[in-house]
Structure formats: structure tokens, C-alpha cells
Amino acid sequence: MSSIVAIVGRPNVGKSTFFNRLIQRREAIVDAVSGVTRDRHYGKSDWNGKEFSLIDTGGYVVGSDDIFEAEIDKQVELAIEEADAIIFMVDVESGVTGMDEDVADLLRKSKKPVFLTVNKVDNNKRAEDAVEFYSLGLGDYYTIASINGSGTGDLLDALVEALPDNEEEEVVDELPRFAVVGRPNAGKSSFINALIGEDRYIVTDIAGTTRDAIDTKYNRFGFEFNLVDTAGIRRKSKVKEDLEFYSVMRSVRAIEHSDVCLLVLDATRGFDGQVQNIFWLAERNRKGIVILVNKWDLVEKDTKTAKEFETYIRKQIAPFTDVPIVFISVLNKQRIFKAIETAVEVYNNRSKRIKTSVLNDVLLPIIENYPPPAYKGKFVKIKYIMQLPTPQPQFAFFCNLPQYVKEPYKRYLENKLREKFDFHGVPVSVYMRKK
């Protein structure tokens, strides 16, 4: 499980540019699956072998200039509450502003590690100008230029050193962990209450009633697992907080703690951008996924409605379309146990181990009949396949020229793995290795 790092600061200081640079670094080095960088506001990154989730608060500031300050204060408060470390970004071109001082006031009161980062420092004159940011009272600062990456190495060295060593904190639990995630007011808590047969969580029509991630042990009908809901009681003082941002912070935590994510969406609102962001976060964390379309009883439908809705969702989540979609109504308790059965199946698929001999017997003849395309007159020969010893399905294909195997052929191999061994609902990683 990785830590959470939040990038905070007023608009237009370069937070998103810095964020995108780190995400691209991660995509280029670690992630072997293409076509997944759709989330704008959060993603995975690593530095010196230490992985962390990165949240760009800038994407959540909405409305006109006169409410920017209040929105930013709310986001900084949430970041302080949820993140393990905070990067506070300021702009050397405009110097210290009133909004910077307000954010600094909030950060000085927190006990979280804060990294004051002065952006747009791309020459010696600007490096001298950055001295004025000592006045914010946050100690030493780091000078960077998001646009070209200069200075980011020193910042990231210090950042990962300050992050907690999560591996030591994790407790080994034999039970599967199913996270119930989704937009506010989609019916997550009602779903869990219906499953366990009691009002374990407070449910209201007010979006964001649920606050803290709590585990519930489920042991019925031959199934036993932990349900992780982003649940709890919401304080009145927080009623006006930025719910979208808060739900993302909670979703990151819940997803990273889970084996399978039950993504609950409101059928009357559809598979919108926020739901898609949570889906891609789960996919990039290599978790099993089940999509639950709740409030299906409220939708006017005919014989084709469910099929059309499912087709629309699969189009939005391409190329990872091998995901179960269950239409439920928590209020009427329609298909909620079907949802759990499906989640257990996905968990079993994610935990599946395939013998090396079986892998090679099944896939090598298929590869022989349809080998990788030749590249610059050179032929790629795949000789051997094995499953890697990881919690999720990852496969190494050993060949003579791994650098010449392109993404379309890797996708073909992934599809064959799904077809022959059933990895329904689970992201599969394919790596090419030198034999």
C-alpha cells in the first residue's frame, strides 16, 4: 500500500504541470498497460523504489475568482487530514500573495510533513527571488521548474524519505477485502446495510454523510470477507466542504486497502467523469473490479435498456472491458447477493495461479500460429511463459527481442490469457523479457 501525497496551492502556480510530469514518469517506467492515463486529478508515482499516490487539488477548484480562496482553504484542510505528506506549491513570478499566506497559516498548524516548493525557477535571477518565501514560516524551500523538471529530483528525494514505511504497518489478514467505492450519495452505505441486515451505517439523502473508512466483517451464506466502506458520521461544520475532493481522498485509501473494488454508481446519473476516475484508479492499482449500477428501479426501461447501458459503460472503460456489470436496487434488495457472488468470483480470479507447464502448453501453439509481427526485418520468437509471484495476475513472456513487441500484440496476448484462463474483472499485466 502506498502513501498519499497532496499538491496544494492557489490556481495557476503549476501544480498540474508538476503532477503530469510525475505521472508520465510512472507510466514510462513501471506501468506496462497503455491507454489508462485518463484520470486528471490523481495517479500513481514512485521515486527511488518507493510508491505513492499523488493528488492534484488544483483540478477541484470551481466557480468564479471570488470563491477561489474559500475553496482552496477547504481543500488544504482535507489534504492535511488525509495525506501523509503535502507539497505546497508557490510561484516565483508573482511572489508571496495573500492566498499563499492563508494556505501557509493552515499548513503551519498541521503535523504533516510540508514541502514548500517554489515553481518556475529556471534561472539564477529567479533563484535569488525565491528567498522571499522564507517569510511564509515553513522553513527551507525547494526550487523547481515544472515545465522542464529541473530541481524535482532533490524535492522527491526528501519527499520519499519523509513518507511512512507502510510495509511495516500492514497487518496480514487472510480474509479478502472488498472496498465499496463511488460518488457521494450513490448508495454505498445502503448497499452494506442491506447486505448485513442491519443499519450499520448512517444513511441520509444528503451527499457525503459517510466520512471514515470502516471495516465490516461479512460471514453469511458460505462467504467470509471484510467490507471496506468510506463510512462514518459527518460533522455539521463540514457540511459545505468540497464533496468531490473528499470522496476522492477516501476512495484512494479504500482502494489501496482492498483486493476487489465494488464501484457503486447511481443509474439516474450515469457513468460520469467522477465514476470513471474512480474506476481507472482501481484499475491502475491492479485491483479486481465489479461495477454495480444502483437505483435501477428508478430508471424507465424497456427490454433493451440494460444492454444499451452496459454497452455504453464498456465503451467508456475500453480497452479494459472484461469487467462484470451488475444492475441492482439496494432499496428493493434486487441482485445484491448476486453482486457479492460476482465479487467473490473476481477475487478468486485475481488470486488464480496457473502452472508454468499449463501456460506454455496452451499459449505457445497459439503464439506459433500468430507470432509477433517482424520489425525491421527481425523476427521475434517467444520461447517460454511464466506467471510472476505477485498478488495480481502478471505474466512474463521470454523472447529474443522483447523491445520489438508492441502494445497491440501485448493486448492480443492479454486477450488470449483471459479467453483461456478466465480473468474476468481483473487487470492483467503482460511483460516481455529477454530469454
Binding site listing for GTP:
9-16, 56-60, 119-122, 182-189, 229-233, 294-297
Question: Which residues are annotated as part of the binding site?
Answer: 9-16, 56-60, 119-122, 182-189, 229-233, 294-297
* Rg (alpha carbons) of the chain, rounded to whole number: 23
C-beta of residue 87 within 8 angstroms of C-beta of residue 57? no
| Cα dist from 146 to 58, 127, 348, whole Å | 15, 14, 43
Burial of 428 (0-12, 13-18, 19+ CB in 10 A): buried
How many secondary structure helices (H) and strands (E) does the chain include? 13, 15
Q: Which three cell numbers stand for residue 159?
A: 519527499
Secondary element (H or E) of residue 20: helix 15-29
CB atoms within 10 A of CB 218: 18
In eight-state DSSP terms, residue 375 is B
C-beta of residue 97 within 8 angstroms of C-beta of residue 146? no
Q: Which three cell numbers stand for residue 287?
A: 485491483
Beta bridge partners of 1: none
C-beta of residue 316 within 8 angstroms of C-beta of residue 352? no
Beta bridge partners of 88: 8, 116
C-beta of residue 3 within 8 angstroms of C-beta of residue 165? no
Q: Which residues of 4-38 are buried (b: 16+ CB within 10 A; e: fewer)?
A: bbbbbbbeebbbbbbbebbbebbbeeebebeebee
Alpha helices in 151-231 (DSSP H): 152-162, 166-169, 188-196
| Strands lying side by side in the sheet with 382-387 | 382-387, 394-399, 429-434
Q: Which residues of 385-407 are buried (b: 16+ CB within 10 A; e: fewer)?
A: bbbeeeebbbbbbbbebbebbee
Angle at 242 between CA 240 and CA 243, to 5 degrees: 95
